[in-house]
Amino acid sequence: MFGTVVVGVGIAGLARIRDLMNPMPSSPSEHLKLFGFVSRRSFGNINEAKQISLEDALRNKDIHAAFISTENRSHEETIRMFLEAGKHVLVEYPMSLSAKAAHELWEMAEQKGKILHVEHIELLTEEYKQLKKEVAGKDLVKGTLHFTGHVLDENKSGFPAFSGIARLTWLIDLFGDLTVTSATREKQKDKNYSRMTVHFQTANK
């Protein structure tokens, strides 16, 4: 069995715990053993998974991999700690708040002989796969991608572009490299409202 730990118990972390505790029959997950989860908050147990300290997760030789599901800003530091401890790492997208840090982390994983995998789960959904089939072989003339969500804490999630960067990856995956031609941001603090509008061009303009 391959020992794992989940770091962070937000929506993604709780889904990880659920799936590790109840793996699909005959799936690779059956070979993973969840030793526990790490959180700054005190929970005790969640679905029979026990809470362990970060120090225990880093020291435990039976834990081979960490699933990191914390806020964006803490990804880089947490990845470094687990790679230093000799663990494989799976982290929710985005891996870090800068490309420079991401390259450093990949180099570190390579030096340590460990796998560092960034998972963008939306690209694996049936809805997205269908969308990809629909645009295959077609030329993009013009299009709009609009999405909404609650206002995020920038100290934890990073600049607003990082709140939406997962959706931007859709566009790059569907239409190739993009160039930013303009970007604006509107804020209404009294209404707790923020909007970012970005215009891109594909390689063929």
DSSP string for the chain: -EEEEEE--SHHHHHHHHHHHSPPTTSGGGGEEEEEEE-SS--SEETTEEB--HHHHHH-TT--EEEE-S-GGGHHHHHHHHHHTT-EEEEESPS-SSHHHHHHHHHHHHHHT--EEEE-GGGGSHHHHHHHHHHTTPPP---------PPP-HHHH-SHHHHSHHHHHHHHHHH--EEEEEEEEEEEGGGTEEEEEEEEEETT-
Q: What is the mean pLDDT of residues 170-180?
A: 91
Gap between the Cα atoms of 87 and 70, Å rounded: 17
What confidence tens digit (pLDDT) does each residue in 21-71 have?
999 889 888 999 999 999 999 988 888 899 999 999 999 999 999 999 998
Task: Please check whether the two domains, 2-119 and 134-202, share a CATH topology.
Answer: no
Return the higher-pLDDT residue of 130 and 124.
130
Q: According to CATH, what is the number of the domain 134-202?
A: 3.30.360.10
For residue 198, is it left (φ>0), alpha (ψ between -120 and 50) or beta? beta
User: What is the overall mean pLDDT for the chain?
Assistant: 91
Q: What is the mean pLDDT of residues 129-149?
A: 89
Gap between the Cα atoms of 47 and 155, Å rounded: 30
Class of domain 2-119: alpha beta
For the chain, the structural domain boundaries read 2-119, 134-202
